[in-house]
Amino acid sequence: MKKLFGTDGVRGIANTEPMTAETVLKIGRAAAYIFKKDNTRRHRIIIGKDTRVSGYMIESALVSGICSMGVDVVQVGPLPTPGIAFITRSLRADAGIVISASHNPYEDNGIKLFSSDGYKLPESIERKIEELIATGEIDSIRPTATDIGKAYRDKDAIGRYVEFIKNSFPKGLTLDGISVVLDCANGAGYKIAPKVLTELGADVKILNDAPNGTNINLDCGAIHTDVIRKAVIGHKVDVGISLDGDADRVIFADENGNEVDGDLILAICALDMKRNKALQDNAFVTTVMNNMGLDIAMEKAGIKLYKANVGDRYVIAEMEKRNLNLGGEQSGHIIFKDYTTTGDGMITALQVLRIMKTKKMTLSALCSCMQKLPQILMNIKVKSKKPFESVPDIKKEMETTTKELGNKGRLLLRYSGTQNIARIMLEGEDIESINTMAERLAVLIKTNLG
């Protein structure tokens, strides 16, 4: 059997392998088998989803598979990925499952699993699920009568999660006087995010909060930041907040319409936490994709960076390993371990808004703590994911580019863990030069792998 799990769960085009009802049912059965630790009590698994039309089909298949193994299901409906992590912990459930393809287009879907502590599953458990499906080990396990699981809905999940997010904001402090444009990406945060901001007193203008099953991430949200940048200027507000489809990451726009990505968010928050003696060991975790400007700014501030592979699960693993309480990615996944176990777009938003409010500074002024190096990011669709070094033309161009950059820039070439996409990242002193280098590489990748 082909590998099911990528860097962030199982993902693919809905109703094609592995995201078919048949395979999803098997994933549900295998997950239930693993999380059913004994027969002395009823076991429960939480299921939530984003707003994709295929979520109904996949949810039904998962519920059937889990219940067929004698485990109960609690369905909470559309809820951000970090909300499922929280509800899993809050309800003392055995596991949590999110049906979402995050920032991907609506025709894709995926499955992410959390253990009872709200952390994403380690790769060893994912491999065990794959093995159970491939070997058919669980095919003969068929509980009957009252041992079959049952499913029911929890209508209180949204309220629980809203209060959980608000508890990350200082009591006694409000967002009165701060004006916000909020882009919900027609995704899982479309109910939660406006409630949190308005209940804390912000003046909120809401965009893309009318999901119809097919418009999630469609020309909106954290991967289409031109929307929020233009909206900030058009509405003349203090800040723009743009979530992705499952609301586990966020990108900002400052009052001048400039994009504020995860690197800048990390810089702002790390410096604030250090000032407040809240940054564990004066260090945090980022990834190999971060802008070199972050390294330079943090070195000046006496803050150490640890680098993880791309993917929030790897950032969290490095945070756990080093006992650190801050980590994140340029894409806007930011983990505040003092509050939660995974990236949470709204908790991140509240931390930035708190700093703006308490320091009485605009977001653009806060961003002056870091100067980004010119950076080019390109995504190229590929048919296969051959090692780049195994393609002579690409290998030669990588060597030429690295030599041209010297110690004044860097090249990072990698494949997406969730899509058939090659990603080029180039940094250097001159934007035109690195753009030329990126274009050369892109042509070779399209020719050889596209």
Rounded (5°) CA angle 358-363-368: 110
102 is a catalytic site residue: yes
Active-site option among 102, 115, 168, 242? 102
Give the rounded distance of the alpha carbon of 31 from its chain centre. Answer: 22
Q: What is the DSSP letter of 281?
A: G
- Identify any residues that bridge with 287 across adjacent strands, giving them in sequence order: 308
Give the rounded distance of the alpha carbon of 397 from its chain centre. Answer: 32
Number of other CB atoms surrounding residue 194 within 10 Å: 18
Strands lying side by side in the sheet with 283-287? 304-308, 283-287, 326-328, 334-336
Query: Is the alpha carbon torsion for 323, 168, 251, 421 positive or negative?
Result: positive
Contact 334, 252 (CB under 8 A): no
For the CA atoms of 68, 72, 76, 79, the dihedral, rounded to the nearest 10 degrees, stands at -70
Residue in this structure with the two tokens 């990528």, named with its chain if needed: 6
**Residue from 413, 420, 425, 426 nearest 449 by CA:** 420
**Residue from 263, 260, 267 nearest 364 by CA:** 260
Q: What is the DSSP letter of 310?
A: S
Number of other CB atoms surrounding residue 64 within 10 Å: 17
- Residue 387 corresponds to which amino acid? P
Q: Are strands 239-243 and 250-253 parallel, antiparallel or unpaired?
A: antiparallel
**Residue from 324, 287, 284, 327 nearest 307 by CA:** 287
Cα–Cα distance measured from residue 285 to residue 314, given in angstroms and rounded to the nearest whole number: 10
Token pair, residue 121, equals 């599953």
Q: Mind telling me the catalytic residues?
A: 102
